[in-house]
Amino acid sequence: MNFNKSQELYKQGLEHLVGAVNSPVRAFSSVGGNPLFIKKAKGSKIIDVDGNRYIDLVLSYGPMILGHRHRKVERAISKSLKYGYTFGASTENEIKLAEIVCSAFPAMDKVRFVNSGTEAVISGIRLARAFTGRDKIIKFSGCYHGHQDALLVAAGSGLATLSLPGSKGVPDAAVENTLISTYNNIESVKEHFKKHNDIAGVIIEPVGGNMGVVIPQGSFLEELKQLTLQNGALLIADEVMTGFRSKFGGAQELFNVEADITCLGKVIGGGFPVGAYGARNEIMEMVAPLGEMYQAGTLSGNPIAMAAGISTLNELKKQNPYETFEKVAGKIQYFLENSAKKYGVEITVNRFGSMMNPFFTCEKVTNFQEAQTTNTDKFAIFFWEMIRNGVFLPPSQFEAWFLSSALTKRDIKNLEIAIDRSMKAVSKSI
């Protein structure tokens, strides 16, 4: 397996693209080596410019839940293209997709489509502030909600109350209303409510997907909901990753929690740039043109993206692949744990529905601090060995793997072989 053309494109890209990429994780910084450049994909496979073929467990970080270029989705896109690309005006498909999305979330009466998960979260937080008349937002260390200034925050020295900008270019003033708590630690949230009476909302990924896959423990989410109710704040669920991934709808229902505002993306666009935020009527009627919270977007509700989203969700509902996802994810977990035991490698595997990943640590991982006990050097070895064995993984220990309904029995067998070989390579580095 060679990567000559990818290396050539990387060198060319350095001249006019920042780091030769348009999103930092694509740079392969945490695993070393040069990034791969992709040429095409179909079904469960993705193919790079050198012709190397991989089982795709990245799936564009989640949206390709049916696999690449599903025939029904392609047909819907082709049909929509014949009528035009964008109009800056309303179309019938916006109404159709809104009906599908709202029907899948019991607490959602109205939805507003935007162009990305980041935009959905920005708008959801603005809405929480508008509705409550308050300014402060609580977020959790390790949960990523897009690159907006107010949420690019890291906890300083593990102190749950200290908010520091996590990126150059973010002024202190931009994060002064952002409070940091520890995921799965309800006491860290209670402390903020004791000290502040102007908290508009708490934003959380119901299942963490950007510190690896981290699952809420016990009644954590239910207690969080009760805490917001008691203090007049709103619970904002960032289901950009988890939406439609574990069931037809969101993770909230599985954990018996209804958020006040839900932010979506990924799957609802069927591979196109789409985000959304929604809530019950009394909250959403704060949004212009019904209310005084302004949010707009020329390309929001793009007709081609709406067509792809409708087709994807209709097919997903028809397939109902969630029981199969659970079985396949269980098999992959077994492959990982069995091979690790066989070669004496310490790992912890976390999974939720069609999302999963292994941490190279013997510690239980329930928050960002525990996730950081993982051995990222071992992950880098594992990553490249999986690439050489035909499996495309996210080039970061802290990104979730995703499954698609296009995976075949042969793919699963090949995954078993690749995992065993890759874990053996890791063991030789110990």
Give me the CATH number covering residue 327. 3.90.1150.10
pLDDT of residue 150: 77
CATH of the domain at 148: 3.40.640.10
pLDDT of residue 161: 33
Can you tell me the distance from the alpha carbon of 87 to that of 74, in angstroms, rounded to the nearest whole number? Answer: 21
Give the DSSP letter string of 49-106. TT--EEEES-GGGTT-TT-BT-HHHHHHHHHHHTT-S--SS--HHHHHHHHHHHHH-T
Can you tell me the distance from the alpha carbon of 153 to that of 144, in angstroms, rounded to the nearest whole number? Answer: 9
In terms of domains, do 185 and 146 share one?
Answer: yes
CB 312 within 8 Å of CB 295: no
Can you tell me the distance from the alpha carbon of 287 to that of 125, in angstroms, rounded to the nearest whole number? Answer: 12
pLDDT of residue 147: 84
pLDDT of residue 165: 55
CB 246 within 8 Å of CB 322: yes
Tokens 């209310």 map to which residue?
A: 291
Phi and psi, residue 203, nearest 5°: -110, 135
pLDDT of residue 401: 97
In terms of domains, do 219 and 339 share one?
Answer: no
Our measurement of the distance from residue 133's CA atom to the centroid of its chain's CA atoms, rounded to an integer in Å, reads 29
Give the domain-ending residue among 319, 348, 372: 319
Residue 402's domain comprises: 4-65+321-429
In terms of domains, do 325 and 304 share one?
Answer: no
Q: Are strands 199-204 and 136-140 parallel, antiparallel or unpaired?
A: parallel
- Residue 51, classed as helix, strand or coil, is coil
Helices 92-104/303-319 angle, 10° precision? 40
In terms of domains, do 414 and 299 share one?
Answer: no
Can you tell me the distance from the alpha carbon of 271 to that of 65, in angstroms, rounded to the nearest whole number? Answer: 9
Q: pTM above 0.85?
A: yes
Give the domain-ending residue among 319, 353, 371: 319
CA nearest to 3, candidates 34, 24, 40, 26: 34
Beta-carbon contacts of 308 under 8 Å, excluding residues fewer than 6 positions away, are 73, 76, 77, 80, 269, 270, 271, 272
CA nearest to 257, candidates 276, 242, 274: 242
Tokens of 364: 């239980």
In terms of domains, do 271 and 231 share one?
Answer: yes
Can you tell me the distance from the alpha carbon of 324 to that of 327, in angstroms, rounded to the nearest whole number? Answer: 5
Can you tell me the distance from the alpha carbon of 320 to that of 313, in angstroms, rounded to the nearest whole number? Answer: 10
In terms of domains, do 101 and 20 share one?
Answer: no
In terms of domains, do 76 and 44 share one?
Answer: no
Q: Please give the positions annotated as active site.
A: 144, 238, 266
CA nearest to 276, candidates 94, 66, 85, 404: 94
In terms of domains, do 88 and 202 share one?
Answer: yes
In terms of domains, do 152 and 40 share one?
Answer: no
Beta bridge partners of 132: none
- Write out residues in the chain with pLDDT < 50, as ranges: 154-164
Can you tell me the distance from the alpha carbon of 210 to that of 400, in angstroms, rounded to the nearest whole number? Answer: 7
In terms of domains, do 49 and 75 share one?
Answer: no
Give the domain-ending residue among 278, 297, 319: 319
Instruction: Provide the residue type at 407 as one letter.
Output: L
In terms of domains, do 231 and 164 share one?
Answer: yes
In terms of domains, do 38 and 159 share one?
Answer: no
Can you tell me the distance from the alpha carbon of 204 to that of 390, in angstroms, rounded to the nearest whole number? Answer: 34
Per the structure, the count of domains in the chain is: 2
pLDDT of residue 158: 32
